[in-house]
Copies of this chain bind each other. A is one copy, B any other.
Amino acid sequence: MDNENIPSEDQVHDLEAGIEEEVVEALAADEHGRLADLIQPLHHADIADLLERLGADDRDQVVDILRDDFDPEILTELDETVRDHVIERLGVEEVAAALQELDSDDALEVVEELDEDEQQQVLEAIPLGDRTLIEEGLSYPEDSAGRLMQREVVTIPTFWNVGQTIDFLRKSADQDDGQADGGENELPTQFYDLFVVDPTHKPVGTIPLSRILRAGRHVPVTDILETEMKLLPVTTDQEDVAFVFRQRNLVSAPVVDDGGRLVGAITIDDVVDVIDEEHEEDIMLLGGVSEDDLYDATLDTTRARFMWLLINLGTAILASVVIGLFDATLEQMVALAVLMPIVASMGGNAGTQTLTVAVRALAMKELTPTNAIRVIGKEALVGVFNGVLFAGLIGVVAWLWFGSLGLGVVIGLAMIVNMFVAGLAGTTIPLALDRMGIDPAVASSVFLTTITDVVGFFVFLGLAALFLF
């Protein structure tokens, strides 16, 4: 560590300090020696970032350079599409070897994303002990605590004291050095809490390491036990796991089986990945994208986006049918055709604002049955208030533009109605979907814009047909 070099703010990310460009240059110039010199000293996380940013051919070249001394941690840091690519290039034997060096949760994370064929091949190449741990992990439901946890946990019996605990850790460490894949008694690479268990292996409490270090050797572990802990059943959904970690500021938490016995522990680094994943899902679904497809091939992306656009085409045609009902009216006054998208657009935007807040609040468990009615009422009222303000604005604009006071009044009224409906729909749609067990981020915005388009066009053109002729 060279203390003379204090990093500037820009250098907080290694890769941005010019290495990325140098790698790209070296790749373009086919300078393999320079490439190896540039890449090999990098942190595994930086290498993963680099692999993600390169095109397919360049990526293969970099994998080949790393092959002989491949850091298995790189695999855990990669995006799924890129990881598939790297795994294919590495080959089954290399991947199986890499997996054995990882903690059980990291190995599982890589294996669970493989397609069935690859999974089978890779598992067969892993020795029985590690393979069993991974296969047990795969037996838990997807996105459950069982998939996230690592099996290597440090457990302490209730009758030990601090001294015995420290001696045990020192002894285990010595054994670890001797035999790399130790099985049951293997210590995790890093751990933050010790779990005190009773004779039936049920957790009695946790002890943060900082507390062990502060206590004297003679202190019984039961004296420094944190008993107010959250036990996570092995089938807990990962979203709920993230909620508990976030709410309690945890760094690790015990996972228990049906019988309440400790089977593993989840650590904060995996939870941060879950948090990112859930956030990504929310933002993507709201934007009408099925998943992050930055690294997907063009045709895969085209296909993935098609369905959402098809649904949108259906709702757009529905809105056109509504407009078509008023073709006679439109023929009489072309100004209506000019102005009608404004009413629909404002409703859609006001509704999207409300919807975004509601979807986010549901995801963060801030919107609950206790405050649902209050929130719906508030949003409808916000819709009316802003509706009145914009009714005034657009009413005057329409009046001056087309010289018809009547037209101004009609568009103003339509604006108020549509923004009220937008506030109502923006809250009730996600709440209803959530109640039905559907992720509100998935379908909310289609429903919403269908409603605000249809209501916007219908009310505006309907009022015009009634009052302007």
A residues adjacent to B (C-beta < 8 A): 1, 3, 6-9, 12-13, 20-21, 24, 43, 45-46, 49, 52-55, 77, 79, 166, 169-170, 172-173, 187-188, 190-192, 198, 202-205, 208-210, 212-216, 227-233, 235-237, 240-241, 243-249, 251, 256, 258-260, 268-269, 271-272, 275-276, 279-280, 282-284, 286-289, 292-294, 298-299, 301-302, 305-306, 308-310, 312-313, 316-317, 319-320, 323-324, 327, 330-331, 334-335, 337-342, 344-346, 349-350, 352-353, 355-357, 360-361, 364-371, 374-375, 378, 381-382, 385-386, 389-390, 393-394, 397, 449, 453, 457
Contacts and interface: CB of A to CB of B under 8 A. Distances in A.
Contacts of A282: 283
A280 B142 CA distance: 26
Given A43-B248, A309-B350, A357-B287, A53 B368 contact: yes
A383 B239 CA distance: 33
Determine how many copies of this chain the complex contains: 2
Nearest to A456: B341
Contacts of A246: 272, 276
A274 B279 CA distance: 13
B341 A287 contact: no
B1 A204 contact: yes
Given A244-B13, A323-B337, A357-B287, A346 B45 contact: no
A302 B3 CA distance: 52
Nearest to A76: B249
A381 B296 CA distance: 13
A312 B344 CA distance: 11
Given A352-B287, A353-B288, A338 B320 contact: yes
Contacts of A210: 169, 187-188, 190-192, 209
Given A236-B12, A341-B341, A386-B305, A294 B350 contact: no
A299 B385 contact: yes
A337 to B, nearest CB: 4
Main secondary structure of the interface of A (DSSP, over half): helix
A154 B191 CA distance: 18
Given A210-B191, A233-B8, A288 B320 contact: no
A124 to B, nearest CB: 29
* From A45, A210, A230, residue with most partner B Cβ within 10 Å: A210
A393 B382 CA distance: 39
Given A213-B166, A272-B272, A385-B302, A353 B289 contact: yes
B320 A6 contact: no
A209 B233 contact: no
Given A192-B192, A272-B272, A236 B338 contact: no
Given A170-B216, A316-B345, 5 more contacts: A6-B233, A12-B236, A45-B248, A170-B214, A212-B213
